[in-house]
């Protein structure tokens, strides 16, 4: 039982069993290997996002996104502007209760700087079906450099529970040839 004292008071001086030592070594080396993989995945695997982050007041971000949507609006879908910026441009999308705004239209193979922030509280930017996830906070502007590799219609769903309309918080990104 754990409540009885060990035979020897200085139990930490006792020899560690062979099997235990082996598992400690394996776990330690595996941990080191996986730590190294974080850098490898970042550089070679294209799996981690190298995003830039800035502080910004929500109303300032809102003004930037509105100016962006007005400048690049090409049409409307379901009452929402569709912005089609030129390749290489800074692209903006905001999250708020309960929408991702505006809709974007990007060109396949071109690189954009996507700016994301929230106007109220925390939302989760989840790009489907490719499953890229970014945490979106108010007061913080994330800039993600992105190059779409497939054309089609992509959905942005909120994957951070944000209240009553959470399940309806769906945005859209068109990628065209
Ligand atoms: Cu949500």
Token pair 């708020």 in the structure block, residue? 96
What pLDDT is recorded for position 121?
92
Query: What is the 98 CA–ligand 1 centroid distance (Å)?
Result: 7
Residues of the chain with pLDDT under 50: none
What pLDDT is recorded for position 26?
98
Query: What is the 166 CA–ligand 1 centroid distance (Å)?
Result: 4
Q: How does DSSP assign 1-63, residue by residue? A: -TTSPPSSS-GGGSPPPHHHHHHHHHHHHHHHHHHHHHHHIIIII--S---EEEE--HHHHHH
- The number of residues in the chain equals 177
Query: What is the 167 CA–ligand 1 centroid distance (Å)?
Result: 7
Query: What is the 11 CA–ligand 1 centroid distance (Å)?
Result: 52
What pLDDT is recorded for position 28?
98
Please enumerate in sequence order all residues whose Cβ is within 8 A of that of 5, keeping only pairs 6 or more positions apart, or say none: none
What pLDDT is recorded for position 130?
87
Residues 63-93 pLDDT 10s: 999 999 999 999 999 889 999 999 989 999 9
What pLDDT is recorded for position 30?
98
For residue 171, give the nearest of 124, 106, 101, 108 by alpha carbon: 101
């Amino acid at each position: 039982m754990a409540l009885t004292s060990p035979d020897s008071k200085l139990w930490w001086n006792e020899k560690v069993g062979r099997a235990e030592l082996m598992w400690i070594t394996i776990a330690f080396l595996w941990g080191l290997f996986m730590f190294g993989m974080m850098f490898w995945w970042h550089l070679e695997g294209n799996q981690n996002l190298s995003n830039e982050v800035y502080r910004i007041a929500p109303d300032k971000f809102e003004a930037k996104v509105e100016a962006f949507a007005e400048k690049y609006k090409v049409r409307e879908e379901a009452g929402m502007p569709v912005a089609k910026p030129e390749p290489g441009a800074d692209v903006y999308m905001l999250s708020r209760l309960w929408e991702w705004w505006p809709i974007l239209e990007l060109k396949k193979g071109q690189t954009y700087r996507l700016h994301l922030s929230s106007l109220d509280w925390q939302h989760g930017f989840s790009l489907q079906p490719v499953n890229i996830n970014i945490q979106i906070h108010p007061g913080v502007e994330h800039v993600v450099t992105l190059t779409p590799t497939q054309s089609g219609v992509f959905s942005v769903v909120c994957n951070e529970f944000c209240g009553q309309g959470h399940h309806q918080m769906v945005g859209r990104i068109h990628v065209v040839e």
